[in-house]
Amino acid sequence: MSRGGAIQVAPPTGTTLMILILTCAGDEHAERVVGALAGADVTVFDPARFPAAATLEIGHPGDGSTVRTLGRGGRRLALDELTAIWYRRPGNPVAHPLTVARDHVEEECRVMVESVWDGLGCLKVPASRSVIDRAGRKAYQLEVARQLGFHLPATLITNDPECFLDFYDRHEGQVITKPVHGNRLEADGERFGRFAAPVTPADLGHAGALRLCPIIVQAYVPKRVEVRVTVVGGEIFAAEIHSQVSNHTRYDWRHYDPGATPMLAHDLPGEVSRRCLELVERLGLSYGAIDLILTPDGRHVFLEINPNGQFLWIEDATGLPISAAIGELLKSGVKR
């Protein structure tokens, strides 16, 4: 993959597979999957290059047809001929440095870009942007998971300090908090990561600040291991993360130390596998990375799903062939 640009994998004579991968420069996940797409005409493109270094067109010639075209690097790609799009991790359009009213221009470009992708009739992995955005809302995920019969932690989503304190007392202080949506924030020019964390007695003195921003509060769930379930089309790849061996990962495995956190393939019970597949389908996705807890008494408890979650770390640690499965899904062109 060329940095910041687009690459093509030359197809053999007669192939009709045309796949567009939308992602940022240097995406190792996309690079791995491109290696599994032999025999397909593959274009990798970052929308952040639009409009300064790329063109997009939507045309209605008046004969009942629509013509959509992506131009960059001297090549024009007929988007209506695509058999699949992988909406991996694209950047947002970036205006030329000399552009006046940059915010307005970039918003116009963003709407243009999404209108192009959304209008195409080919397979979209994991889904269109609007579906991905809806599926990524934690409160919505929890409700769908509840309807499907998943075990859930006792949960409260609120900006009411009194409700928060009542929840804390009801669970004898054994609670964790996490953001309602994003886990990256910026304040005073510094960037921070906000992960699941236990509530300490000292935190209670700041409970009044909840009125300014809601949070998710959940009762702490004892863990035997954490389980990452990656769903690709109709396939399931489950891995267990032995997060309890380290204090760094006790509450959130994303603090894991690869050298100190064992990860192995996990044998997921049939009923849990069925629910995972149904969850991804109900959310309108063809891919999803689901986080579960396996409790000491053998229950699989649902935490959340990431519609575009990373997978190489699981693949490399366990040997689960996730990249190959994504490649096969893209080559199939089959819409779920």
Q: Domain holding 58: CATH number?
A: 3.40.50
Contact 325, 232 (CB under 8 A): yes
The domain in which residue 276 lies consists of 222-332
Distances (CA, A) of 243 to 21, 65, 186, 230, 253: 33, 54, 28, 18, 6
- In angstroms, the CA 286 to CA 333 distance is 11
pLDDT digits (tens, 9 = 90+) for 186-203: 666 666 556 788 998 888
87 and 39 in one domain? yes
Say how far residue 112 (Cα) sits from the centre of its chain. Answer: 22
Same domain, 169 and 67: no
Bin 176: left if φ > 0, else alpha if -120 < ψ < 50, else beta.
beta
Last residue of a domain, one of 170, 195, 219: 219
For residue 148, tell me if it sits in a domain.
no
**Across the beta sheet with 215-219, what order do the strands follow?**
155-158, 215-219, 175-178, 197-198
Domain tally, the chain: 3
DSSP category for residue 151: B
At 8 the pLDDT is 40
Which run of H or of E encompasses 124? Answer: strand 123-125
In the chain, % of residues over pLDDT 90: 79
CATH of the domain at 184: 3.30.1490.20
Domain contains 234: yes
Q: How confident is the model at residue 250 (pLDDT cuts 50, 70, 90)?
A: low
Give the tens place of pLDDT for each residue, 21-64: 999 999 999 999 999 999 999 999 999 999 999 999 999 999 99
132 in any annotated domain: no
Are residues 262 and 283 both part of a single domain? yes
Q: How many CB atoms lie within 10 A of CB 16?
A: 10
Q: Tell me: pLDDT of 15 over 60.
A: no
131: DSSP letter: H
CATH number, position 304: 3.30.470.20
DSSP 58-108: EE--SSS--EEEEEETTEEEEGGG-SEEEEEEPPPPB--TT-SSHHHHHHH
Per-residue pLDDT, 194: 62
Mark whether 270 and 322 lie in a shared domain.
yes
In this structure, are 40 and 86 located in the same domain? yes
Q: For residue 50, what are the contacts with CB-CB under 8 A and spacing of at least 6?
A: 56, 93, 109, 112, 113
Mean pLDDT of the chain: 89
For Cα atoms 301, 303, 307, give the angle at the middle one, nearest 5 degrees. Answer: 130
Q: Which of 154, 203, 157, 210 is nearest to 181 (CA)?
A: 157
pLDDT (tens digit, 9 = 90+) per residue, 132-175?
A: 999 999 999 999 999 999 999 999 999 999 999 999 999 999 99
Shared domain for 234 and 317, answered yes or no, is yes
